Amino acid sequence: MILSRPVFYSVFTSMCSVLALGLTPGCGGDDSPAQSTSSGAGSSSANSASSSGGSGGGAGGSSASSSSSAASGTGGGGGQQTGFHLSGKVSYESVPYNNALEGLDYAGIKKRPIRGASVRLLNADTSAEIAKTVSDDKGGYSFNYVDTASVKLWVSSETKVPSITVEDNTAGDAIYTMESAVVASGLDVKLNPVATTGWTGAGYTKARLAAPFAVLDAAYTAAHRFLTETTTPPQMPPLKLNWSVDNRPEDGDKSLGQIGTSQWDHTELYILGKESVDTDEFEGHIIVHEWTHFFQGKVGRSDSPGGSHNFTDVVDPRVAWGEGFATAISAIILDPDTVYADSYGLQQKDGFHYDLEVNDASAGENPGWYSERTVSGIVFDLYDGANEPFDKVNIGLNGIYTAMVADRTTPALTTIFSFTAGVKAATPQAVANINTLVAFYKLDVSFGLDTIQDAWGTGETHTGGVASSVPVYRTATIGSLWKAKFTGGASENKLTQNRYFRIAGDGQPITVESTCASDVDLFVYKLGTSVAEAKSQSGDEMLTFATTVGQTYVLVVQGFETKAIAYSADITFTH
């Protein structure tokens, strides 16, 4: 995929933005504690309202043109012109994962603020919008208005800064909106709507209002941390997330909920929501993991070809990097909650979890530069404090972000090599400790990592049990012939099916040709962007690409043999 550049937005400077002229939405410091109660067992008082200072409801308050009258009504005299005030907090219910029970724990439901979200004040009689604002970091909001007898709120699953929306992909991409109870206007009315889970003890028998706000909050948390904790904050492009009660692990029509799994499809995020099959809305690590794919692809650079993967797979190092980095970021964003958990099954009572902070370089983990588990462990330990014998480095979120952005310009593919080399270059004082951290993942002669010297994996000796996987990159010259060796029987994103070459541009077109009895494809990249590819159904491929003097290109030879056999492709490089 050719990475699109971000749409630029002004840096967010305030959690509260006034979006309606003549009105005064509350800003931070909301003095109205949310008193609505929420039952851990499902029932809840989600929409509590109270009033003090007398009701101003009544005369003149039912006009459909209340927006204009409100806008002009501040400080006006007479009747309702003294103004009404509505304030409160908006929140949603969150269901934790229980590590002991291995599943969602509805007895532990907690209420969390809906932050940075769109809150609209509507005339209850006409549904005309009077004003809108954005909830603060505690979910607080307030409105001053006039001339409306009774009002209600719409709280939408969207944030403005950064632009994030959670939509129902099975309902024409409608934005989820919680409608509050109707309250009579008054001098100081409180309204604290809560988006509830809809769980009533044995199933979701009521509207699952909390889910889209939980998804929004995870994405917002991730974005907000990068916006507020980096020295040069990212310019976040808009993001759409799709969640639906029908989103299920079945491939097909996404508008029907057949999304395959929770994923970033290089355009939008899709999150599972099918009750008693697989739901992910309350599993923040999964949402942040997928969000990171968006973030890395749009703000940093992702060269991963994607495809199925798991923690212990020996995969293409681009896949290991993309997936491991995303898992690490989920733990970084949600730190101190470093436990990745995933529930599924009837009543969400099955699941698994693991703590990212528990480092493991044992044989079953297949540690190395091709392992997403190794990647996530290294990245997280680069971020966190010096809290283990092998972890004496701490570059923080800003250091991680800086290296991710710097990785955009690596001529190599983005892998643990390019990232770590970038971190070492940026923090020369930490090089020894980084080397110690990397060395933790050295298991034996086949599995592990050598000291990372550069973005190209120079000097790497660990094969991951895959013959001919090192050197990581072969240096191809014009007029040379190479034999790229593979083992089939694995999916095309595994290390056994990929070989990498670096080619120095000389200003002339270069032709690459493959000859192979099995199907192989050729891909040439310049700074991570595809410049040529040849991907017929055969092993005989040819491509030619223009080159620039001084520019290094990368050729990926990818095999597709489905039989578990050893095979090879002859690769030539010519002018």
Partner 1 sequence: MKWSGFAGFVVIALTASCGNETARPAAPPDHAAVPPAVAPVATVAEVEKGAAVVAPPALVAPTAAVEKSAAEAGKPSAPIKVTAQLRPAAADLDVVFASDATGVTIKVWGVDGLRVKSAAPVSVGSVKSGQTIKVAVQYDAPATESNLAVSVIGTFGGREQVKVQSFTLSTGAAKAPTGEIKVDNEGRRVKVQKAE
Indicate whether 93 belongs to the interface with partner 1 (CB under 8 A).
no
The DSSP element (H or E) to which 525 belongs, if any, is strand 520-526
Site for partner 1 in 306-345 (CB under 8 A): 306-313, 319, 322-323, 327, 342, 344-345
- Residue selected from 493, 497, 498, 552 as contacting partner 1 according to rule CB under 8 A: 493
Least separation in angstroms between residue 376's CB and partner 1 is 10
Per-residue x/- track, 440-469, partner 1 (CB under 8 A): ---------------------------xx-
Indicate whether 301 belongs to the interface with partner 1 (CB under 8 A).
no
| Candidate ranges 52-60, 417-425, 426-434, 531-539; the one touching partner 1 (CB under 8 A) | 531-539
Indicate whether 394 belongs to the interface with partner 1 (CB under 8 A).
no
Indicate whether 511 belongs to the interface with partner 1 (CB under 8 A).
yes
> Residue 243 carries which side chain, given as an amino acid letter?
W
Identity of the residue, 402 or 496, whose beta carbon is nearer to partner 1 in the bound complex: 496
Identity of the residue, 46 or 334, whose beta carbon is nearer to partner 1 in the bound complex: 46
Q: Which residues pair with 55 in a beta bridge?
A: 186
| Contact by Cβ (8 Å): 101, 349 | yes
Identity of the residue, 430 or 557, whose beta carbon is nearer to partner 1 in the bound complex: 557
Least separation in angstroms between residue 306's CB and partner 1 is 4
Token pair 């940093």: residue:
300
Count of CA atoms in the C-beta half-sphere (13 A) of 119: 35
| Cα distance between residue 158 and residue 149, in whole Å | 28
Residue 71 tokens read as 């806008």
Site for partner 1 in 129-148 (CB under 8 A): 129, 132
- Residue selected from 62, 74, 81, 258 as contacting partner 1 according to rule CB under 8 A: 258
Least separation in angstroms between residue 455's CB and partner 1 is 19
Torsion from C-alpha of 309, 311, 314, 319, nearest 10 degrees: 50
Indicate whether 529 belongs to the interface with partner 1 (CB under 8 A).
yes
Identity of the residue, 198 or 422, whose beta carbon is nearer to partner 1 in the bound complex: 198
Residue 63 tokens read as 């006009």
DSSP, collapsed to helix, strand or coil, labels residue 346 as helix
| Candidate ranges 305-313, 331-339, 377-385, 397-405; the one touching partner 1 (CB under 8 A) | 305-313
The DSSP element (H or E) to which 215 belongs, if any, is helix 210-228
Indicate whether 537 belongs to the interface with partner 1 (CB under 8 A).
no
Query: What length does the chain have?
Result: 575
| Contact by Cβ (8 Å): 142, 134 | no
Which of 80, 407, 13, 509 lies closest to 227, judged by CA?
13
Residue 111 tokens read as 């209420």
**CB neighbour list of residue 10: distance below 8 Å, 6 or more residues apart:** none
Please give the sequence-ordered ranges of beta strands (E in DSSP) within 414-490, or none if there are none. Answer: 473-476, 480-487
Indicate whether 485 belongs to the interface with partner 1 (CB under 8 A).
yes
Which of 323, 305, 265 lies closest to 498, judged by CA?
305
Q: Alpha helix (H) ranges present in 416-571?
A: 416-426, 431-439
| Candidate ranges 10-18, 72-80, 273-281, 445-453; the one touching partner 1 (CB under 8 A) | 273-281
Site for partner 1 in 21-50 (CB under 8 A): 44-47
Site for partner 1 in 545-574 (CB under 8 A): 545-546, 563-566, 568, 570, 572-574
- Residue selected from 446, 515, 518, 538 as contacting partner 1 according to rule CB under 8 A: 515
| Candidate ranges 218-226, 399-407, 409-417, 509-517; the one touching partner 1 (CB under 8 A) | 509-517
Omega within 30 of 0 (cis) for the link into 96: no
Per-residue x/- track, 191-210, partner 1 (CB under 8 A): --xxxx-----xxxxxxxx-
Indicate whether 544 belongs to the interface with partner 1 (CB under 8 A).
yes
∠ CA(302), CA(305), CA(310), 5° rounding? 100
Least separation in angstroms between residue 437's CB and partner 1 is 22
- Residue selected from 217, 280, 281, 384 as contacting partner 1 according to rule CB under 8 A: 280
| Cα distance between residue 574 and residue 511, in whole Å | 5
**CB neighbour list of residue 428: distance below 8 Å, 6 or more residues apart:** none
Site for partner 1 in 144-183 (CB under 8 A): 154, 156, 168, 170-181
Neighbour order of strands in the sheet with 566-574 = 480-487, 566-574, 510-515, 541-545
Identity of the residue, 175 or 431, whose beta carbon is nearer to partner 1 in the bound complex: 175
Token pair 């462990």: residue:
377
What is the greatest pairwise CA distance in the chain?
90
Identity of the residue, 12 or 154, whose beta carbon is nearer to partner 1 in the bound complex: 154
Indicate whether 495 belongs to the interface with partner 1 (CB under 8 A).
no
| Contact by Cβ (8 Å): 511, 543 | yes
Residue 335 tokens read as 């730190």
By rule CB under 8 A, what count of residues binds partner 1?
Answer: 133
| Cα distance between residue 502 and residue 563, in whole Å | 28
φ, ψ (nearest 5 deg) of residue 44 = -160, 155
- Residue selected from 476, 495, 520, 557 as contacting partner 1 according to rule CB under 8 A: 476
Identity of the residue, 72 or 530, whose beta carbon is nearer to partner 1 in the bound complex: 530
| Candidate ranges 6-14, 58-66, 250-258, 331-339; the one touching partner 1 (CB under 8 A) | 250-258
Identity of the residue, 321 or 383, whose beta carbon is nearer to partner 1 in the bound complex: 321
Identity of the residue, 206 or 392, whose beta carbon is nearer to partner 1 in the bound complex: 206
Site for partner 1 in 401-430 (CB under 8 A): none
Identity of the residue, 395 or 569, whose beta carbon is nearer to partner 1 in the bound complex: 569
Torsion from C-alpha of 384, 389, 393, 396, nearest 10 degrees: 0
- Residue selected from 40, 233, 396, 489 as contacting partner 1 according to rule CB under 8 A: 489
Identity of the residue, 313 or 407, whose beta carbon is nearer to partner 1 in the bound complex: 313
